[in-house]
């Protein structure tokens, strides 16, 4: 178990062969339901250590070969169980108050993670849908607290920093201000839109209107508005086609302990269906080249999501 680095691209591979033994869509038993060995009773949201973690506070010695670079898989992996109700389909089906409770556990975990100097990044994400390989359907999201910054975030950090140096403004703030053609939903504190540069057939980026670079900077009202914005946006993803859409949601924020004038907290949601309801695969162009291909325009997708968010949620 270790974190290996690709010297050609700077990307990492989290090697954790023990994860192969994690339960795969089991019938009749759910480790996240109330009364399971690790959950107990009397809770409505729960942050659990991941039983099959990619990073751990007590990592084994990395397998290394000279020439190549690897580091200990040090860190923390959590599962956030967002409701005790097994049969809720998605986060968007929960009341706003319940989503706020879940988000508060994320904030608390992020605060706690800032105290450990060996940790560099707090990565919060959510995989939804059996079609994209979710191993347990009980509503949950995940947190990896890592000793490295995820390369995609590092790329955004580099571009945002360069813009800030030249223009003296946050590039994300500039984008949020300009994105009025492809708005999906907007409330007091947050704006959800399909960006001009979307890569997936249905995609939403959810930004706080106020410039903050970490989730720990959000106040109570901002968390409530975030819960509302996520609920409405995910509702649109669920209802825009005939069947609930599998999706990936990730949070991008500044590395732990940094409050940056040039980087802006945001959530990115990638819908995995094409407009005809077939799964979109990241194939040759996408996986091999980083070249995403779209058969529709982000403008059309945003319009459909906007109509759904307004009508049916």
Cα first-last separation, the chain: 44
- 172 marked among binding-site residues: no
| Inter-residue contact 274 to 295 (CB < 8 Å) | yes
| Residue spans of alpha helices (H) in the chain | 96-113, 151-167, 171-178, 220-239, 289, 298-312
> Does residue 140 have an active-site annotation?
yes
Interacting stretch for ligand UDP, rule CB under 6 A, among 43-51, 165-173, 227-235, 263-271? Answer: 43-51
Using Cβ positions, the residue closest to Fe ion within the complex turns out to be 252
> Does the footprint of ligand UDP cover residue 50 (CB under 6 A)?
yes
Which is nearer to ligand UDP, 140 or 182 (by Cβ)? 140
Closest CA to 48 of 90, 127, 113, 109: 109
Q: Which of residues 27-46 bind Zn ion (CB under 5 A)?
A: 30, 32-33
Distance between CA atoms of residues 43 and 84, nearest Å = 7
- Determine the Cα–Cα distance for residues 136 and 283; give it in Å rounded to an integer: 25
Least Å from the CB of residue 200 to Fe ion: 13
266 is in an annotated binding site: no
Binding mask 151-180 for Fe ion (x = CB under 5 A): -----x------------------------
- How far apart CA 250 and CA 238 sit, in angstroms, is 17
Selected from 18, 22, 118, 311, the binder of ligand UDP by CB under 6 A is: 22
Exactly one of 140, 172, 205, 252 is catalytic; name it.
140
Active site residues: 140
List the binding residues for Zn(2+): 30, 33, 86, 138
């Amino acid at each position: 178990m270790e974190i290996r680095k690709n010297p050609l691209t700077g990307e990492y591979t989290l090697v954790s062969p023990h994860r192969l033994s994690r339960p795969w869509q089991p019938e009749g038993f759910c480790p996240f339901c109330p009364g399971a060995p690790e959950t107990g009773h009397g809770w409505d949201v729960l942050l659990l250590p991941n039983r099959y973690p990619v990073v751990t506070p007590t990592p084994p010695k990395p397998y290394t070969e000279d020439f190549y670079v690897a580091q200990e898989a040090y860190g923390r992996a959590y599962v956030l169980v967002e409701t005790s109700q097994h049969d809720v389909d998605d986060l968007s089906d929960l009341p706003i108050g319940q989503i706020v409770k879940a988000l508060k556990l994320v904030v608390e975990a992020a605060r706690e993670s800032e105290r450990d100097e060996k940790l560099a990044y707090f990565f919060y994400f959510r995989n939804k849908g059996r079609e994209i390989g979710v191993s347990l359907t009980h509503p949950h999201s995940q947190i990896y607290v890592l000793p490295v910054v995820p390369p995609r975030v590092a790329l955004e950090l580099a571009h945002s920093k360069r813009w800030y140096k030249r223009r003296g403004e946050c590039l994300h703030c500039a984008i949020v201000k300009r994105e009025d053609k492809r708005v999906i939903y907007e409330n007091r504190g947050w704006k959800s839109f399909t960006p001009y540069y979307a890569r997936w057939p249905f995609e939403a980026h959810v930004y706080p209107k106020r410039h903050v670079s970490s989730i720990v900077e959000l106040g109570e009202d901002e968390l409530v508005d975030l819960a509302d914005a996520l609920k409405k946006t995910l509702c649109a993803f669920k209802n825009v086609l005939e069947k609930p859409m599998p999706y990936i949601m990730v949070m991008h924020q500044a590395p732990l302990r940094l409050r940056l004038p040039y980087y802006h907290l945001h959530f990115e949601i990638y819908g995995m269906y094409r407009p005809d309801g077939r799964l979109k695969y990241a194939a040759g162009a996408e996986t091999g080249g980083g070249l995403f291909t779209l058969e529709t325009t982000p403008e059309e997708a945003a319009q459909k999501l906007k109509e759904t968010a307004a009508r049916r949620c």
